[in-house]
Structure 1
Amino acid sequence: MPYKATILTISDKGYAGEREDKSGPILKLKLEEMGFETAEVQILPDDRTMISSRLKEICLSGSADLILTTGGTGAAPRDITPEASMDVIERPMPGLAELIRFEGMKFTKRAVLSRGVSGICKETLIINLAGSPKAAAEGMDILEPVLEHALHMLKSINLDHK
């Protein structure tokens, strides 16, 4: 069974139709190349309540095994994606966000400026990625070797330790 993913692009300008979402489609393509079913690509504004409500709705419905957010992870005053994510994350899984920052340093020293988080809500893994298309794509390349195993663990599939 392929895993189902939802992508949430967090962007005031994208939500208002003032900027084309390029990161969401890149993530969709990357996920499909990895064998995921992409349930939805949605754009939301940098609004903590809207983001956390949508995350919670997806997690409670069980409609996605994985939620990727892109955008809102920097230090700008409206960058609140990590806070909105932590509003719904029940069990943090910080190693994934740490991996993205650490390996991202190979591409740009600015990777350490991301405040993205990762964790679990119900049976859904939530991972924040940076908003630029390049950074989002690099984040997926970094996650690819461990993402399937993380989801297997979350779903209690093939947990034999060798």
Structure 2
Amino acid sequence: MTTPGRHRPLRIGIVTVSDRASRGVYEDKGGPAIREELTRIVANAWEPVVRVIPDELEVIAATLAELCDAEGCDLVVTTGGTGPAPRDVTPEATEQVCIKMMPGFGELMRKVSLEVVPTAILSRQTAGIRGTSLIVNLPGKPSAIHDCLMAVFPAIPYCLDLIGGAWIDTDPDVCTAFRPKS
């Protein structure tokens, strides 16, 4: 049996949600941290599709839809906008564009983050599926991005297999993808 996305090129959207970074007032550290982590984790060739956008619900939702539908990203990873502040609306935008929510991703990320800092309970990261794409919301701090990606990434390749996304191989010295035996 062949996995539907086995021979497609892997495209990964990396979205920084930040008013200041989108205006050039603040250096984007989250997007580059995601790219660095994915470069360490993903063993097969992949193409990043990068966006830096403001904390605006409709802009975030439109960007996520564009990356999934028009850009053909199999995985879209966001950073920023997951806290309780009034302009933190990344989870709402993700919910708006997804057909299925995957709450286990957010639950695991909060669990891992709570081992480091008690304010992780304020985080609202989530994940969801749009077509053959998985969208995962990460926190904004580079060290938290590392912790959260390392926690959830073992499940991402199999999730993409199940929804028809592209195949992901991982570097087993960094992160081992879990795929149940058939």
TM-score normalised per structure 2: 0.81
Residue 62 of structure 1, CA deviation: 5.2
Residue 137 of structure 1, CA deviation: 1.7
Equivalent-residue separation in structure 1 for 2:16 and 2:32 (angstroms): 10
Which residue type is aligned with residue 55 of structure 2? D
- Equivalent of 1:65, from 61, 74, 83? 74
CA contact (8 A) 1:81 1:128 kept: yes
Query: Which deviations, in whole Å up to 9, do the C-alpha atoms of 1:58-91 show, x marking residues without a partner?
Result: 2212521000010000011100111111110111
Change (3 A) 1:62 1:161: farther
How many residue pairs get aligned? The number is: 161
* 1:1-162 correspondence runs (5 A): 1=7, 3-35=10-42, 37-61=46-70, 63-155=72-164, 161=181
Please list every run of 5 or more consecutive structure 2 residues that lacks an aligned counterpart in the other structure.
1-6, 168-178
Residue 136 of structure 1, CA deviation: 1.4
Which residue type is aligned with residue 28 of structure 1? R
Equivalent-residue separation in structure 1 for 2:87 and 2:150 (angstroms): 27
Equivalent-residue separation in structure 2 for 1:142 and 1:155 (angstroms): 22
Moved more, 74-83 or 53-62: 53-62
Please list every run of 5 or more consecutive structure 1 residues that lacks an aligned counterpart in the other structure.
none
Equivalent-residue separation in structure 2 for 1:153 and 1:112 (angstroms): 30
Equivalent-residue separation in structure 2 for 1:64 and 1:27 (angstroms): 15
Which residue type is aligned with residue 46 of structure 2? E
Structure 2 counterpart SS, 1:145: helix
Equivalent-residue separation in structure 2 for 1:161 and 1:49 (angstroms): 41
Q: Percent identity?
A: 35
Equivalent-residue separation in structure 2 for 1:67 and 1:52 (angstroms): 12
Residue 161 of structure 1, CA deviation: 4.7
Of structures 1 and 2, the larger Rg is shown by: 2
Query: Which deviations, in whole Å up to 9, do the C-alpha atoms of 1:107-142 show, x marking residues without a partner?
Result: 222222111111100110001111112211211111
Structure 2 counterpart SS, 1:87: helix
TM-score normalised per structure 1: 0.91
Equivalent-residue separation in structure 2 for 1:56 and 1:34 (angstroms): 25
